[in-house]
Amino acid sequence: MENLGSLAILLAFCVALYATVASVVGRVRRKPFLVESGRRAVYGVWALVTIASAILVHALLTGDFRFAYVAEHSNNALPLLYKWAAWWSGQEGSLLFWMWLLSSYTAVVAFTNRRRHRDMMPWVLAILTTIEIFFLTLNNFVANPFKLLANEGLIVKPPDGSGLSPVLQYPAMAIHPPMLYLGYVGFAVPFAFAMGSLITRQPGDSWIHTTRRWTLVTWLFQGTGVMLGAAWAYHVLGWGGYWGWDPVENASLLPWLSGTAFLHSVMMQEKKGMMKVWNMVLISTTFFLCILGTSMTRGGLVQSVHAFAQSEIGKYFVTFLAVGIAATAYLILDRLDYLKSESQLESVISRESSFLFNNLILLASCFAVLWGTLFPKISEWISGDQISLDADWYNRLMVPIGLFLLFLTGVGPLFAWRRTSLDRLRRNFQWPGIASLVLVVVLFAAGIHKPYPLISFGFCLFVALTVIVEFYKGASSIAGRTGMNLLRATIELTHRNTRRYGGYLVHMGVVLIFIGFTGHAFNQSEVKEMSQGDTMRIGRYELRMASLEQGENPNYLWYRGTFQISKDGQPLGTLQPEKRLFKASKESTSEVAIRMRPNEDLYVNFGGMSDDNQRAVIQAFVNPLVTWVWVGGLVLIGGTLICLVPSKIKMQYARTQVVGIAKQHVDLPAKQ
């Protein structure tokens, strides 16, 4: 089996190489047979990588510890779910998982476009298979998952393995990495179509229409992965937060930010024929940020709880990035004549300008996060000393940027296309603006004097009201004409234009997430060594340790504290945080206890035992409004899914010319 696995990925490398050459040569020399054979070779790559993946997963599930990868990332006591998750928990396996997703995506692209875009598709497949060649090079010659354990030339099989890292033994970790990888890998497809469009000098926007849903689904996977990662950090790491500006957290956020800018920008190209260069730059940036994020995790570029060990693999990623960015930049610059805008920006106060500002701010936030992430390495190269930037640095920079983005989320839909009159501006802004100011005054009178939280709550109400008003105006119009009740009319309205109103729900999800973010400004924390019968106070809560227990199972040893909770003297029940020491890896992890409510979370972590092993070190946090981060994430996901549903009535938007006159579509009589 081990030889079959290595043979499968080696053959996949050869077939991917053939697919690239056949697609390019067949297209250049106009040899349909070669083009078709290159397309069919794509299916061969997928089949071979699937065989290799099945062999590795079988070895993990059955505990075949002859494989070095299995011995390092699995053990007999590991639950079945985590044996499966071990596929992507290590360097070699995660690269094979990435390759399996990429080959699957490529096969789907080849099949669904087998009769479309005949000029462009050979180049699209050649680009995707070139990316496959890179990852198969790593799997074959740098990080092979089928290496065997050997001692003095003889294959050995230890009785047990080291087991999965304890911090990864959490149910969401069976979902979080695949979601992120589906996003990381998926952005390769719109990138390949964009480059294929440039290579063949395609007129029009066929590549955007082809990849619109694909890009939206990929963006959804990436965003879902980021949210699941935040939930994992909150429930497993035990530090009381969900986002610490860790380098690998940042690496997952970067392509999501640039992908968000791209999704907004393509609307301008579809409706107005504008921002064509922007779109090429944005989708290319998003793809290369995905590769950079993968490099950060695997190449030792950054230090993180998420990153793999130091590895020589980083130089391969650097080479790939350098060559890829240089080739992409040359192609875009060489094809600028094909990327000219069909319209011009007519007014600063217009929806077009709001999209432009949105792009600029999203890219600014992307650059800020990237700079902060790479700064330790940059400072080491320049001065020899590695200088790290803490979470406060990110917050000082990103909070104002985030608030401006939140504001644009609300004002963008209020602007008209081309130009917005002052009267319309006043009517659209008046009541949401007044309500937001009233809220800020009320909160100030209630004792909230921090400027950023006041601004954030005001903007959140402003954006929420603009979304609600947009739904109300459309739904009331339908209700008036059809006699439907308002709820049914709202559903009908959304179904008629799912892309627009699903987008509004995404904006509402962003509002709810920002409400949760704002609560961070009011967090409280306490740390105390406690014995049975001791009490701790934090805010309005009192925690009394009712018992302190310890025990073990085949996988780990555990310490557990049982706490009776009361608030303002009223009993609220018990919480049971736990500390676990895993036998195989000799590592420990926390099982935090959280009392979740819409207004605040009471978060209790068992930090460990004191030096004399008689008292427990307990960390308690009161985290206001955190629940709204998770609720907002669900609303954002729901809104995106609605965007993917075909509209009941397809809206046809005619592009406007520079002079602002709509193109007329006239049906000419057929020649007799």
Is the pLDDT assigned to residue 30 strictly greater than 60? yes
CA distance 463 to 439: 13
Between strands 588-591 and 593-596, the pairing is: unpaired
Mean of the pLDDT values across residues 15-38? 95
CA distance 535 to 545: 6
Q: What is the pLDDT of residue 666?
A: 39
Q: What is the pLDDT of residue 311?
A: 63
Mean of the pLDDT values across residues 602-624? 90
Angle between helices 391-411 and 351-383 (to 10 degrees): 170
Angle between helices 276-298 and 176-186 (to 10 degrees): 140
Mean of the pLDDT values across residues 177-201? 94
Q: What is the pLDDT of residue 89?
A: 87
Q: What is the pLDDT of residue 613?
A: 76
Beta-ladder partners of 148 = 67
* Amino acid (1-letter code) at residue 204: G
Q: What is the pLDDT of residue 660?
A: 40
Q: How confident is the model at residue 308 (pLDDT cuts 50, 70, 90)?
A: low
Q: What is the pLDDT of residue 671?
A: 38
Percent share of the chain, pLDDT over 70: 93
Is the pLDDT assigned to residue 57 strictly greater than 60? yes
CA distance 658 to 672: 36
Mean of the pLDDT values across residues 108-129? 93
Q: How confident is the model at residue 79 (pLDDT cuts 50, 70, 90)?
A: confident
Q: Could you tell me how far CA 135 lies from the centroid of its own chain?
A: 21
Is the pLDDT assigned to residue 670 strictly greater than 60? no
Is the pLDDT assigned to residue 665 strictly greater than 70? no
* Residues 259-269: tens digit of each pLDDT: 999 998 888 88
CB-based contacts of 485: which residues, under 8 Å, 6+ apart?
479
Q: What is the pLDDT of residue 461?
A: 96
Q: What is the pLDDT of residue 206?
A: 80
Q: What is the pLDDT of residue 302?
A: 61
Q: How confident is the model at residue 301 (pLDDT cuts 50, 70, 90)?
A: low
Percent share of the chain, pLDDT over 90: 61
Q: How confident is the model at residue 526 (pLDDT cuts 50, 70, 90)?
A: very high
Q: Which residue has the higher pLDDT, 560 or 273?
A: 560
Q: What is the pLDDT of residue 299?
A: 62
Beta-ladder partners of 185 = none
Q: What is the pLDDT of residue 450?
A: 93
Q: What is the pLDDT of residue 385?
A: 79
Q: What is the pLDDT of residue 381?
A: 84
Q: What is the pLDDT of residue 310?
A: 52
Determine the Cα angle at 119 with ends 114 and 123, to 5°. 85
Mean of the pLDDT values across residues 404-410? 89
Q: How confident is the model at residue 528 (pLDDT cuts 50, 70, 90)?
A: very high
Q: Tokens at residue 331, please?
A: 């192609």
* Amino acid (1-letter code) at residue 542: E
CA distance 465 to 511: 11
CB-based contacts of 174: which residues, under 8 Å, 6+ apart?
81, 82, 84, 85
Considering the chain, what is the average pLDDT of its residues? 88
Is the pLDDT assigned to residue 407 strictly greater than 50? yes
Is the pLDDT assigned to residue 183 strictly greater than 70? yes
Q: How confident is the model at residue 536 (pLDDT cuts 50, 70, 90)?
A: very high
Is the pLDDT assigned to residue 440 strictly greater than 90? yes
Q: What is the pLDDT of residue 303?
A: 59
Q: What is the pLDDT of residue 442?
A: 96
Mean of the pLDDT values across residues 486-507? 92
Is the pLDDT assigned to residue 658 strictly greater than 50? no
Is the pLDDT assigned to residue 480 strictly greater than 60? yes
Q: Which residue has the higher pLDDT, 90 or 270?
A: 90
